[in-house]
Structure 1
Amino acid sequence: PQINPSQPHAGQLQHQNLKAADDKRREAAWRQSRKPTDRSLPDGVEDIVIGDGAQRYRRLREVERQLDAIMVRKRLEMNEVPHNAKRYRTMRIWVSNTAENQPWQDTAMQADAFDFSSENQGTYRVKIEGKLLDEEDAFERGDEEATNDEKDPDAMDQDTAAKASKPRALPPPSTKTKLSHFFRQIVIEFDRSRSLSNPDSFAQIEWKRPEIPRGSAPTPEMGQAANFDFLDFERKGDENANIIIKLSRDEFPERFRLSDKLARLLDTDEADRGEVMMGLWQYVKAMKLPEDEESRRIRCDAALQSIFNTETLFFPHLADTLQKHLKPLPPIELRYTIRVDAAYINQSSPTTPPPDATPSSTPQPATYGKYTVYDIPVPMPSVMRNAPPVHSIPTLQQLAALDDALAANVRAINESRLKHAFFDAMAADPVGFVRRWISSQTRDLEILMGELPGFGEEGRGEEWRRGGETGVWGSREAREGVGLWVARRGGVH
């Protein structure tokens, strides 16, 4: 095929593109170097500015420096927070039930009559409700108790209207607030044999969080099934029944129950995979068990041999070896008795606050009127690690533009200050100022023309006119300068 010499080939095009990109980069760097960056006012501006604008600007700059120092320190603290750092809050769970169409509720039946019919349609409805307590509640209760202790017992009660009108700070926003957000499965088991017959032919009730297929968006039905504050169900029955509510925790990363030997070594019963790996690595380093410099193979001491049943262990394969020592966490069990008797159903709602309970993984029930109350600790994501970015990209771009405009204004103020000093000096002594200015300009012109007088000379520059190796032209500086000048002219020296 014939090649048109007027068209550049691929190599030339690539070279031209690289040259254009390099020129563009150099131009951008040159413009960046020309851009003013100093945002501090020069000294002496306060004397020529009307008002206290300069002083207020300097105070703002000082506040900005303090804020920058605080933000840098906070960023360092956030980087030191572990990736799985968590804080715990209390989830209060209320369990209650109502009953309808019970035999004692049938007013047409005599109290002393015995019903042999099987047409009884007695039902009960159980409600399980969860509420995430505010972090302020404990502090408010503590402050209230302290106030009551310090209060004079003979003093009259204070007016509570002022306390009611006092604004209350809102709790920090969180993405996990509902009951279904903290558990992946809820199972309600009836405490009776599965072989026994019952009206609805059931032995347990189960809820599982719907799984969203990868790459697909959740449907409205899935969102509604995975976001609720309470769970209720209705069944037939006219007798009291015991149930066990099993809550399977949903944590990320997933936590496991450690084997007995591993738990004794790490001094903890529950941990995620990362915590187990880090704990074992710290133990290996503390006991100086690495076999080589790369620390990939370790020698097992008596404690590790009792766990892994081997004398040496390849550390990269430790995750697979740990699999049999990590078991799923057992669900939290809440016991409740479904009551359909008149004494329970007809009791009135309490007016006093619910009793405080100590949150625990094995919670104990507290009675609150018709309700059975449990307090359960639930993990919350770290506020520092999961904090959203303070500024978006458009906001940061806007701040950068404001900084550039501020630096340009400061440069204009500095130029105006120099002009003010120039004209102020000329107005104070016009003749002397003009003479000094002419002398300064003359010296600058002599420097540009190469006619600057030598040391001890006055205006003639005889030393520059005298040659020889001992003269000025024989010095190393002069030779380098002449060589540079000739090289720029394209000559050879």
Structure 2
Amino acid sequence: MAGPMMSTGPHHQVPLTQAQMAQQQQAAAMQVEMAKRRSRKPTDKNLPDNIDECTIGEMGPKYRELRDFERRLDATMTRKRLDIVDSVNRSVKRWKTLRIWVSNTTEDQQWQNNDLNVPAFDFSSNLEPTYRIKIEGRLLDDDDDDLDKEDAVDEADEDKMDEDGANAKSKASKAPKYRLSHFFKALTVDFPANRKGIDQSMEWKKPERTGPSTNLPASADFDELIFKRSGDENMHIVINLTRHEDPERYAVEPALADIVDKTEATRQEIVMAVWDYIKFMGLQEDEEKRNFRCDDLLKKAFNIETGSIPLLYNYITPQLKPLPAVKLPYTIRVDEEFHKDAKPTVYDIRVAVDDPLKEKMVTFLNNPGYASMLKEVASLDDQLATIVQAIHVSKSKHAFLSSLSEDPATFVKDWLSSQKRDLDIIMGESIRGSGEYATTGDEWRMGGKDSVWNTINAKESVTMMLAKQPHAPR
């Protein structure tokens, strides 16, 4: 069954009420009035020509020096602000040291179960020997980078080092810092083949954020990781740490590394490096700047003769590989001799963190006082333009009176003639090609700054004609 038929033509609009029509008319009138005010608003802040001839002192040169200084200051502030915006958008990183301690403890080993209860005549034990592996990491401060290795510290200094470590941890707890799990998205431990066929491998993956919350779950925010396994023999393991970076860095293939001069970089850094190489070597096409020619290095990297700059991302993608995992070899010790004076194995890894100045730069860009300062500067500019306009008027009056004082009769005659001609032009009564003030001379066809069309009278006439409201047709 066919559905109801709907009209495809334009629908009739609901007629407006008298109040709505009056409101629209009032809004339109307000817009016209605001446009008029903006058109009459003075904007010129330059002093009139030859102002130095009719002023006392060095007012003109000093004002022009201030104007020049203002232009240079505005340019410098704008450039610096754009540099800060660029730094924030480029996510500048800073390299720091992440120190990782790897250690293990033992439980129920054979040498730990020698204290049997002889009167009980129970010489057997059902406890299985185990060990616990602890992986702990801490981001070193700038003043901690020169710490001595723990295996080089004398036994007499151990108490002092423990006290310093406690103070450092308490200091770190007061100031929020990056935790171990922040720098890695996965952690695996490779064990040697077990003779009993038991899989002892361990794997951790960082869970993803769910929902709008920015807080990570406890399983993804920690400074140390501890896990337990069974065993009574020393063995070699390898701890694999997969980096978590934003933006992600990649390992660059050798052919592309010869161009960008980097073995590890982000995708954006590689694109910018290739673009800089193309500009430096002058490989852009003369007619089409978006295209470029490939020299020997680019041919070797991209395997093309010519390329397009918008497709650089596609060219470099096959040359990027994920960074290999950070491998930390460690030997699990369960013997009594080692645990009499057990010491952890220490590794230092370079990690990238956000520049500490980034937060301050973001605060600077989002400062609410900046908008109010711009409003204040705009208000001062308006006042300055009004004062300069008054100076222009005073300069015109001065020129008028000076010319009148030199030859009053000739000046009045020329002035009346000029006023009559301007009035005829404004009223539309001037006849082209006839009359005393006919507009047939070369002066009316000549343009440029010295023509009659660039005079104050012509500008005022055009302004009056544009501001004149047209009469509604009857």
TM category, shorter: 0.5 to 0.7
- Superposed CA deviations along residues 113-169 of structure 1, whole A, max 9, x for unmatched, are xx997834222111111111111334899xxxxxxxxxxxxxxxxxxxxxxxxxxxx
Q: Match for residue 344 of structure 2?
A: 371
Q: Could you tell me which amino acid in structure 1 is paired with residue 270 of structure 2? A: V
How far apart, in 2, do the equivalents of 1:234 and 1:284 lie?
55
SS in 2 for 1:211: coil
Q: Could you tell me which amino acid in structure 2 is paired with residue 100 of structure 1? A: E
Bigger mean CA deviation after superposition, 390-399 or 132-141: 390-399
Q: Match for residue 316 of structure 1?
A: 310
Q: Size of the alignment, in residue pairs?
A: 355
SS in 2 for 1:388: helix
Q: Match for residue 388 of structure 1?
A: 362
Percent identity for Structure 1 against Structure 2: 36
- Asked if the contact 1:95/1:336 (under 8 Å) is kept, the reply is yes
Equivalent residues in 2 for 1:73-472, closer than 5 Å? 74-75=80-81, 77-79=83-85, 81=87, 83-109=90-116, 119-138=126-145, 177-190=178-191, 192-193=192-193, 196-197=195-196, 201-213=198-210, 216-218=211-213, 222-347=216-341, 370-386=343-359, 387-390=361-364, 395=369, 455=405, 471=413
- Asked if the contact 2:105/2:131 (under 8 Å) is kept, the reply is yes
Q: In the superposition, relative to structure 1, how do residues 389 and 478 fare at CA in structure 2: closer, same or farther (>3 Å)? A: farther
How far apart, in 1, do the equivalents of 2:99 and 2:249 lie?
22
How far apart, in 1, do the equivalents of 2:182 and 2:15 lie?
70
How far apart, in 1, do the equivalents of 2:298 and 2:410 lie?
87
- Is 1:476 aligned to residue 418 of structure 2? yes
Give me the TM-score of the superposition, normalised by structure 1. Answer: 0.57
- The CA deviation at 1:404 is 11
- The CA deviation at 1:20 is 2.4
SS in 1 for 2:364: coil
How far apart, in 1, do the equivalents of 2:262 and 2:13 lie?
79
- The CA deviation at 1:13 is 7.2
Give me the TM-score of the superposition, normalised by structure 2. Answer: 0.59
How far apart, in 2, do the equivalents of 1:453 and 1:289 lie?
65
- Asked if the contact 2:258/2:297 (under 8 Å) is kept, the reply is no
SS in 2 for 1:207: strand
How far apart, in 2, do the equivalents of 1:127 and 1:476 lie?
99
- Asked if the contact 1:266/1:279 (under 8 Å) is kept, the reply is yes
How far apart, in 1, do the equivalents of 2:313 and 2:367 lie?
40
Q: In the superposition, relative to structure 1, how do residues 316 and 238 fare at CA in structure 2: closer, same or farther (>3 Å)? A: same
SS in 1 for 2:90: coil
- Superposed CA deviations along residues 430-461 of structure 1, whole A, max 9, x for unmatched, are xxxxxxxxxxxxxxxxx9xxx9996389xxx9
- Asked if the contact 1:176/1:182 (under 8 Å) is kept, the reply is no
Structure having the larger proportion of residues in helix:
2
- The CA deviation at 1:335 is 1.1
- The CA deviation at 1:24 is 4.8
Q: CA RMSD in A?
A: 5.1
- Superposed CA deviations along residues 44-96 of structure 1, whole A, max 9, x for unmatched, are xxxxxxxxxxxxxxxxxxxxxxx999976753553564814321011111111
Q: Could you tell me which amino acid in structure 2 is paired with residue 372 of structure 1? A: T
- The CA deviation at 1:272 is 1.6
Q: Could you tell me which amino acid in structure 1 is paired with residue 309 of structure 2? A: F
Q: Could you tell me which amino acid in structure 1 is paired with residue 112 of structure 2? A: Q
How far apart, in 1, do the equivalents of 2:13 and 2:224 lie?
81
Q: Match for residue 27 of structure 2?
A: 17
- Asked if the contact 2:200/2:229 (under 8 Å) is kept, the reply is no
SS in 2 for 1:125: strand
- The CA deviation at 1:100 is 1.8
- Asked if the contact 1:126/1:233 (under 8 Å) is kept, the reply is yes
How far apart, in 2, do the equivalents of 1:452 and 1:264 lie?
76
Q: In the superposition, relative to structure 1, how do residues 300 and 4 fare at CA in structure 2: closer, same or farther (>3 Å)? A: closer
What runs of 5+ residues in structure 2 fail to find an aligned partner? 1-11, 44-72, 149-170, 382-396, 429-460, 469-474
Bigger mean CA deviation after superposition, 70-79 or 91-100: 70-79
How far apart, in 1, do the equivalents of 2:179 and 2:261 lie?
32
- Asked if the contact 1:128/1:230 (under 8 Å) is kept, the reply is yes
